[in-house]
Chains A and B, each alone.
Chain A
Amino acid sequence: MSELIDLTAAQAADRIGAGEISPAELFETYRQRAAANELNAFTWVADAAPDGDGYAHNTPLGRVPIAVKDLFCTEGVPSQAGSRILEGYRPPYTATVVKQLAEAGAPLLGKTNQDEFAMGSSNENSGFGPVLNPWDRTRVPGGSSGGSAAAVAAGLAPWAIGTDTGGSIRQPAALCGIVGLKPTYGACSRYGMIAFASSLDQAGPLTRDVTDAALILRHMIGRDPRDCTSLEYPGEIELPKADDLNGIRLGVPEDLTGAEGGVEPGVRDSFDATLKLAEGLGASIEACRLPHAPHALSAYYLIAPAEASANLARFDAVRYGLRVGGDEDLATMYSRTRQVGFGSEVKRRIMLGTYALSSGYYEAYYGTAQKVRTKIAEDFHAAFEQFDFIVTPTSPWTAFELGAKTADPLAMYLNDFLTVPMSLAGTPAISIPSGLSDGLPVGFQLAGPAFSESRLLDAAYALERAIGFDGSEARA
């Protein structure tokens, strides 16, 4: 059994294809591990392997089961977005990317825990309890896709998908020592993703290695007629094969990685060591400027809550989900339901967003934030004229202890300092494990221009091989 869970998803798919292992055996192995749920990574686990007839034998994803973040709607299966207000909610339809993955041969293993409505960086905001980091169970796995990250790192799932709004794939991937990729905004359909901030939310893979990420991303992309912000992806996602970085120009944005970013010494060391490896592989490394990027966090915490305040208005106790009261007047039913159903971080952001959109404040807050967003996108555009990729640590810190930052929302928000700029710019970015600091994983982030996923995966693949990170400890 331990041999099975040490296989990457791509390796497992190959073995299944070769008839060496049975898909049912693989599914059951992971199903049992997921159901044991020692990390509280899952909110729902399938009862049994899906009927074999439901999946063609020669599928691109080899019938290797997948863990899906709770906020992806899955027909007939609890889809609660980590919120008590949706407790027990089973949607009548399935999100496009989940459907595409199932059709490509990745059956649903389970739904993973997350920060409520993807609002958080530690998974402590889940309505269903925090997820534990498999490297150290007193620490957070990161968030908001913390359940997906912990499940993949701990070998409870071969691979997983999550969503990234300001770092919610990359940061937990970094803190759990796995690969996480946020695609170009519009590359994957958002249809069926319970929305946090519509103009930022993107689905993406969380995987054991870069190859797995490429393999799964291939089947996530594409224009969906049900999501008019999705785009026809130019070309295909290639499986990575580069073994060097010859001619690749890496830009290190001092605006982010300097003193202001608050990067921990251990994270800094791992980052510098990775840059050395990259140089050794033939890359050139230079400082670059993203002058507006330090303002990204401020802009993000206006834009995302503003959109969220509208996106979360539908949870009104009328049609589905929690209802508290209802025998009194309408306003009382609304307010009591939302008072009980939403956690404090969600309430904080609804209030922030409502305020930012209010008459008389719109221009000063939301309007200004949108202008900053445009400036940041222009910064990235200019930087990519000179550089192939921009590289930073993924998170300023390694996994912190549960409860360490819950009392200080602003300190918690700083988790996203290095990941939010790419979200606002809509550009793709990948986090790969670059090593350990005091026994905890450190993430290395590469960001590229829009639709550069294949090149980004190639570069990440070359670095991954040079780094030789061993994540087996988290599966032990």
Chain B
Amino acid sequence: MNATAGKVEYEPVIGLEIHVQLSTRTKMFCGCALSWGDPPNTHTCPTCLGLPGALPVVNERAIHYGIMIGLALGCEIAERSLFHRKNYFYPDLPKGYQISQYDVPLCRGGRLGEVRIHRVHLEEDAAKLNHLGTSGRIHGSERSWVDFNRGGTPLVEIVTEPDIRSPAQAREWLILLRTTLRQLGVSDVDMSQGSLRCDANVSIRPAGRPEFGTKTELKNMNSFAFLESGVRAEIERQKRLLDGGEPVVQETMHFDPRTGNLTPLRSKEEAHDYRYFPEPDLVPLLATEEMLAAASADMPRELPAERASRFEHALGLHADTARLFAFRAELGDYFERALAAAGEDGRDGDHRLEPAELSNWIGPLVERIGSETDPATSKVTPESLAALATMVKAKEVSRDAAREVLTLLVQEGGDPRAIVEREGLGAISGEDDGLAELVDRAIAADPAAADQVRGGNRRAIGPLVGYVMRETKGRADGGEVTRLILARLEANA
């Protein structure tokens, strides 16, 4: 690096490797039930314990789910794929090899959103190691236990192309993937429980350069936030190295969520020659026409990426809102129910509610019920939210008053019209004598401001409008009040 190194603009290049535990009833290669939180080693058999002489048999449901994932990601499904043995010694791997797929995976190619998919393959999960001691890792632990309940759980590994360019994009894309998989019903996709796990390959390069920099692999980012912060930290680390004239070394980094630190895994833990070879205990996996048809028949009507596109392009939602509603399916579902209710309301002309206008009411609702709550479980029905938005559109209630109504709806539910009636929150219109009188009182209360407005300083109207809004408790329409004040001051000029 030369003296100008510090000024180099870098572009991050990020690819993800995602492991998804499938929510089949039984394990990948034996009949043991999948479980969570049961006493250790209660769901085991000769096969998943790697006892001598035991053999694997492929779980057909896992293949079915694998094909569904391939279809959802637009992959090419291989008519014939192979299982291989991936050899390495570790106590969580009872056979001394993991049955995985290697050079002939079930799915190749594909795309989800703006990120291309490299491949999707099936394999088995390792057992769970629990370490006694402070390190939390096998090195330096006093004693370790193995729980084979998890061992043999069907896993799908999804590998993206290095198409991601920022930590935030990585996070958002992973949320899209999770929503897609959740909608397929093939996994619990819960990062905190490990049913969705994500590693990231990260490199940086001077912006505009076609060639990739040296990449590192980040492991153990067990939440969406940690993925984003881990990748961000690694990008910063690499920038510091390059700016300081140091090379990036290809290695595997362990992310510590407590400290946000990245530490290289010991080279002993990663220097593997896996000696892949075709698993002689299994026959080639044939994806028949019948299997493809069965997977297609089980696919949801619309996947999140398609839904986001429809929200944005057919309904005219803002792109961010469209993605939010599609990726958080419960928001999208609620929104669509409200939209249907608004349509049934039968208003037309200027009072017809646009989808984008309705969409603006989801945010305030979520603010009031908490961002983790499914609005469908709140007291606010989609019909009442649609009714409220329609009333605002028709100027039957002011925007501010409507927010108060929404707060009451969240607390007690019910019909927004009844609440408006009961609380006297109906809009005060310009024809209302009371409003004209309030305008006069506002001008009288702040003659200096009135003079400035008369003098052409439109911005000075704020306190006057504020006076009226305060007096009407927000029931008046701000635009209407402004118009009335200007008209009165001009008339007196």
Contacts and interface: CB of A to CB of B under 8 A. Distances in A.
Interface of A: 71-73, 79, 81, 86, 89, 91-93, 95, 190-195, 197-199, 225-229, 306-307, 309-310, 312-316, 318-320, 330, 334, 354, 357-359, 362, 366
B85 A225 contact: no
Contact of A92 (B51, B57, B97): B51
A314 B87 CA distance: 10
B95 A190 contact: no
B89 interface: yes
28 contacts: A72-B53, A91-B46, A91-B53, A92-B46, A93-B54, A191-B53, A192-B53, A194-B53, A195-B53, A195-B281, A199-B280, A227-B281, A228-B281, A228-B283, A229-B280, A229-B283, A310-B87, A310-B96, A313-B95, A316-B91, A319-B51, A330-B91, A334-B89, A357-B275, A358-B273, A358-B275, A359-B273, A362-B277
Interface in B205-250: none
Contacts of B94: 314, 318-319
Nearest to B275: A357
Contact of B52 (A194, A198, A225, A358): A194
Given A89-B52, A91-B53, A313-B87, A229 B275 contact: no
Interface in B281-339: 281-283
B50 A314 contact: yes
A319 B96 contact: no
Contacts of B276: 357
Contact of B57 (A89, A226, A330): A226
B388 interface: no
Given A91-B46, A92-B46, A359-B273, A310 B97 contact: yes
7 closest Cβ contacts across the A-B interface? A313-B96, A198-B280, A357-B275, A199-B280, A194-B52, A192-B53, A73-B53
B58 interface: yes
B61 to A, nearest CB: 15
B49 interface: yes
A221 B251 CA distance: 51
Interface in B27-48: 46
B146 interface: yes
B138 interface: yes
Contact of A228 (B53, B275, B282): B282
Given A226-B57, A319-B94, A91 B275 contact: no
A228 B95 CA distance: 18
B57 A228 contact: yes
Contacts of B138: 330
Contacts of A227: 55, 57, 281
B52 A91 contact: yes
Given A306-B277, A366-B277, A192 B87 contact: no
B52 A86 contact: yes
Contacts of A86: 52
A307 B280 contact: yes
Interface string B239-280: 000000000000000000000000000000000010111001
A318 B146 contact: yes
Contact of A229 (B53, B91, B97, B281): B281
B52 A310 contact: no
Given A228-B57, A228-B282, A359-B273, A81 B96 contact: no
Contacts of B91: 316, 318, 330
Interface in B74-120: 85, 87, 89, 91, 94-97
Contact of A354 (B50, B51, B275, B280): B275
Contacts of A362: 275, 277
Nearest to A199: B280
Contacts of B58: 228
B51 to A, nearest CB: 6
A72 B49 CA distance: 17
A316 B49 contact: no
A146 to B, nearest CB: 20
A254 to B, nearest CB: 32
For A192, A193, A318, A354, which residue has the most chain B Cβ atoms within 10 angstroms? A318
Given A81-B52, A197-B280, 18 more contacts: A71-B53, A91-B53, A191-B53, A195-B281, A227-B57, A228-B56, A229-B280, A229-B283, A306-B277, A307-B280, A310-B96, A316-B89, A316-B96, A318-B94, A318-B146, A319-B49, A330-B91, A357-B87
B282 to A, nearest CB: 6
A405 B57 CA distance: 40
A190 B57 CA distance: 12
Contacts of B282: 228-229
Contacts of B283: 228-229
A314 B55 contact: no
A448 to B, nearest CB: 23
A8 B146 CA distance: 50
Given A93-B46, A358-B273, A320 B51 contact: yes
A419 B55 CA distance: 26
Contacts of B97: 310, 313
Contacts of B95: 310, 313-314
Contacts of A71: 53
Contacts of B57: 225-228
A101 to B, nearest CB: 16
A93 B56 CA distance: 15
Specify which of A72, A86, A93, A313 lies most central, judged by the most chain B CB atoms within 10 Å of its CB: A313
A358 B57 CA distance: 27
A228 B280 CA distance: 10
A313 B89 contact: yes
A226 B54 CA distance: 8
A191 B54 contact: yes
B277 A310 contact: yes
A318 B275 CA distance: 22
A198 B281 contact: yes
Contact of A79 (B52, B55, B275): B52
Contacts of B49: 319
